[in-house]
Amino acid sequence: MTLKSLVTIDVGSVQTRAMLFARVEDRFRFVAAASAPTSLRGPDPDVLLGAIRALEHLSAISGRPLLDPQGILIAPELSTGAGVDVCLITLSAAPPLRVVLGGIAPEWSLASLHRAAAGSYARVLETLSVISPDGSRRTEEEWLYALVAAEPHVVVIAGGVDGGGTRPVEALLEAAVLAAQLRPEEERPLLLFAGNALLREEAVAMAGRQIPLRVLENVRPRPGVERIGPVVEELDRRYVEQAAMRLPGLSALQGWARGEILPTARALSHVARYLSLETPERGALVVDVGGRHVVLAAAYGGMLAQVVQPDSGIGPGILSLYQRRGYERMARWLPQEIPPEALETLVWTKALHPLSVPQTPEEMWIELAFVREALSEAWERLHVLWPELGRTIRFFEPILLSGGAFAAHTRPGALALAALDALQPIGLTTLLWDPVGLLPGLGALAALDPGSAVEAITGRPWILLATVLAPALESPVAPDELLFTFEVHHRGPDGSESVYEIEARGGRLEVVPIPEAGETELRRFRMRRPVDLGWGPRRAPRRIRIPGGMLGLIVDGRGRPLRLAEDPETRREQNQRWLWDVGALGGAL
């Protein structure tokens, strides 16, 4: 396929973003971006209206007519240059699916199902286990009551290796089918069976014509083998189907698209997989903090570990996030004392008016505190669901920041600090910034036309926010204790050279400007204590080449894990000092 032009539309819970890509000088690249409110509120919600407004704005910015007089997308591209060849749509605006999982053992089939559900826009309401962690077991009658009470959109049943025992999984299937039959026909959940292959025909017979059923590959066909991809794909498909019924205008918008609507999280996973190919020994992490969901997509060694955290973010999901995390966890990130009532006022403002933006530095600190906690919560879940990541979970390179919480931020230093506080990377990494929301469109393009996606990504359509050098420290360090030193060597494009020494001190962040033009290397590391920069204690390469960026190089000497002071006043002083270090403290917005 050779595309000349493409528009992508990402329908989020707060904003709808439209991106224009086109072939310029024989290379496919990003051209322009625009956004508009998604139009989910008010007496006449209509996501099509939000898309039309975003495309009108995009036409004005790019100078390319995209809509005909009736407000319909022009496709394919006309000889006059109006319109585009293809339209792709990604979606995260709909509420998550209500899901019930059933399996034999928590550490086997159910662990796989939890991973699958975590990778999609789904909320697990009930887990039915044949073997409980404490040795107890619900009766089949209790399973039935739980299934009826949950009113799920989807029930996923797994368990047993192929060719193994069947009776425990049969009991789960029977309960799921009976519970579905007790609901009105139009409200019956989709039943996914991803267990022992011997039960596939029996599952079809049980469901009959009354219960919607899809039979999938076993998530655990044999010991040591896991295949959750088909379950994730079906959950994604069901999410879009439910969204089409819940969101007015989505079905009409889908008529513009080439192929099916793609959930935004799935598009982000495509970008993470591509970036991980560039650094296979480190992997890549894509972070998206939106209004209703938080997505972490970590690709490493051919494996994708993904978490979609529903009822989170800094829009419609902020109230649920605050109820889960609480005032004390939010306040620990603030550089000054802010009473609970002031913080709660901002929570309700963002929940009711998600398009509102911080008007004062204090409001920005509060909003970024919520970003930290939203990321921390998703990060904790990623670590629990994929324990095999182990220590590598802190070593991703690069880390790409996207989503409404990171869009068009007025203080990039504060944004970078929020990401470092929540994710706490170790060693050498780069923070990339997607301020206009390109990633969903790039991921959708990768699914349609990988060649064009590679061309667009190779052009680096995001901003290099900073290169980060962060040591892991086995024990606490004294404030301002000297940890290590190194030299920064820069050769300018005119051949000029400069050398300066940098000191990394405990509890501090050092920001070193790095010019984008020319070449920069880090050399002559001298360790003053057993610091691990990712190459082992007291070890570092002789030379490390790093790129220039918006903030340059951030040397994070605060250690890992990050230790916040227990005393509230001392902790606020810590936050003030760190904000000062990254140039984000003081002044008006």
Q: For the residues 160-167, what does the mean pLDDT come to?
A: 84
**Tens digit of each residue's pLDDT (9 = 90 or more) over 569-580:** 999 999 999 999
What band does 142 get if pLDDT is binned at 50, 70 and 90? confident
**Tens digit of each residue's pLDDT (9 = 90 or more) over 196-250:** 999 999 999 998 888 999 999 999 999 889 999 999 999 999 999 999 999 999 9
Q: Residue 307: is its pLDDT beyond 90?
A: yes
Q: Tell me the C-alpha to C-alpha distance, in Å, between residue 473 and each of 9, 332, 431, 509, 557.
A: 44, 22, 21, 15, 9
**Tens digit of each residue's pLDDT (9 = 90 or more) over 432-453:** 999 999 999 999 999 998 888 8
Q: For the residues 175-184, what does the mean pLDDT come to?
A: 92
pLDDT of residue 1: 59
**Tens digit of each residue's pLDDT (9 = 90 or more) over 360-398:** 888 899 999 999 999 999 999 999 999 888 766 678 889
∠ CA 462-17-371, rounded to 5°? 65
Q: Residue 588: is its pLDDT beyond 70?
A: no
Contacts by residues 489-493 (CB-CB < 8 Å, ≥ 24 positions apart):
489/520, 489/521, 489/522, 489/523, 490/514, 490/515, 490/518, 490/519, 490/520, 490/521, 491/518, 491/519, 491/520, 492/517, 492/518, 493/517, 493/518
Question: Against a cut of 0.85, is the pTM above it?
Answer: yes
Higher pLDDT, 168 or 99: 99
What band does 262 get if pLDDT is binned at 50, 70 and 90? very high
**Tens digit of each residue's pLDDT (9 = 90 or more) over 525-576:** 998 888 888 888 888 888 999 998 899 999 999 988 888 999 999 999 999 9
Contact 252, 89 (CB under 8 A): no
Q: For the residues 477-484, what does the mean pLDDT come to?
A: 89
pLDDT of residue 589: 55
pLDDT of residue 116: 96
pLDDT of residue 458: 82
Could you give the CA distance from residue 82 to residue 62 in angstroms, rounded to a whole number? 11
Percent residues over pLDDT 70 in the chain: 98
